[in-house]
Amino acid sequence: MGASEIEIRRAAERLTNCRSCAVMTGAGVSAESGVPTFRDAQTGLYANVDPMKLASVEGFREDPAMVWRWYMARFGRARVVEPNPGHFALARLAARIERFTLITQNVDDLHERAGCPDVLHLHGSIARYFCTDCGEDHTLTDDDRAAPEPPACAHCGGMIRPGVVWFGEALPRDIFGAAERACRTAEVMLVAGTSGVVFPAADLPFVARSAGAYLIDVNPERTLISDRADLFLEGPSGEVLPRVLGAMD
Ligand code: BV8
Ligand code: ZN
């Protein structure tokens, strides 16, 4: 079906007069760049391994080599893909709105590469690595990337891990706090590309709405967020978001 012209124009009107906007994205906004979403069937080696298991502390403890290889495969892919028109549309939106906060659940850097400043990464970044024992930062080398298991920390010999937030781990308090404040004060909250099943990120659209924000959701499929949104724009973000920006000009 896809979002109608009237729906696109309604979103454009809300955003044109908006002085404070919070945006939250999920894996869906990177899908058109060729990055599989979190719940897509994992390809190849990971076809039958649950991403929930791979992205967890116990998964890493149980099989560090498997988890390491999964992150190195994702890191490798994130480096070769390009931002898509949806990322660029959000960067254009950031440039137009006085108080604009981009919150993402994604661990790739596609928003930054599309020109969005100060992205709040609720679930960390696949570009950051640190030691599980002493916490020292670790700069990833090409050898690390080709290694079958996590490298050892140069300071204490501990296992190096990706700087992402795993299931069962708390989100960075400062980042989640900033995201919550942005949602509480937003006139419009735009959500794109998330299934809305991972908490506490999935609470944020409802924090915004109950504080009075107009809630817009962009997704090819309906989700719990779509059902509670003031406006659901059906379709891929790489198509819908440029249409909304185009209707604002
Ligand atoms: C926490 C980083 C507490 C890693 C991720 C038991 C124990 C502890 C916690 C829990 C528990 N049971 C439940 C919980 C809470 C748990 C949770 O929410 N579980 C769910 C599954 C029920 N949450 C946590 O554990 C969080 N921590 O609660 O800590 C605590 C407090 C104090 C002290 C200690 C502990 C941590 C959650 C963070 C987990 N890390 N990622 C990595 O990425 O490798 S989550 C992971 O899922 C990704 O970040 C991903 O972004 C996120 C959400 O998924 P989506 O982004 O929505 O992606 P998904 O594939 O699901 O959907 C894609 C969507 O895009 C779809 O809707 C699709 O239709 C759409 N789409 C497709 N194509 C397009 C598109 N949209 C637009 N355009 C397109 N072209
Ligand atoms: Zn160490």
Has residue 124 got a pLDDT over 70? yes
| C-alpha separations of 211 from 11, 103, 121, 203, 244 in Å | 19, 17, 22, 12, 24
One-letter amino acid at 162 equals: P
CB 211 within 8 A of CB 185: yes
Is it the case that residue 44 has pLDDT exceeding 90? no
Q: Indicate the angle between helix axes 237-248 and 85-96, nearest 10 degrees.
A: 30
Give 47 Cα–ligand 2 centroid separation in angstroms.
32
pLDDT of 76-92, one tens digit each?
Answer: 998 999 999 999 999 99
Q: What are phi and psi of 15, to 5 degrees?
A: -80, -30
Determine the distance separating the centroid of ligand 1 and the alpha carbon of 108, expressed in angstroms: 14
**Nearest-angstrom CA–CA distance, 44 and 60:** 19
Pocket of ligand 1 (CB under 6 A): 26-29, 31-32, 37-39, 55, 105-107, 123, 164-170, 192-195, 197-199, 219-221, 223, 236-238
Q: What is the pLDDT of residue 42?
A: 60
- Whose CA is closest to atom 8 on ligand 1? 168
Ligand nearest to the CA of 104: 1
Q: Model's pTM, two decimal places?
A: 0.96
47 has a pLDDT exceeding 70: no
Q: CA dihedral defined by 33, 34, 40, 41, rounded to 10 degrees?
A: -170
CA of 50 to the centre of ligand 2 (A): 28
87, 123, 138, 155: which one is catalytic? Answer: 123
**Ligand located closest to 136 CA:** 2
- 34: confidence class by pLDDT, cuts 50, 70, 90: very high
Is 123 considered catalytic here?
A: yes
Mean local confidence (pLDDT), 31-49: 75
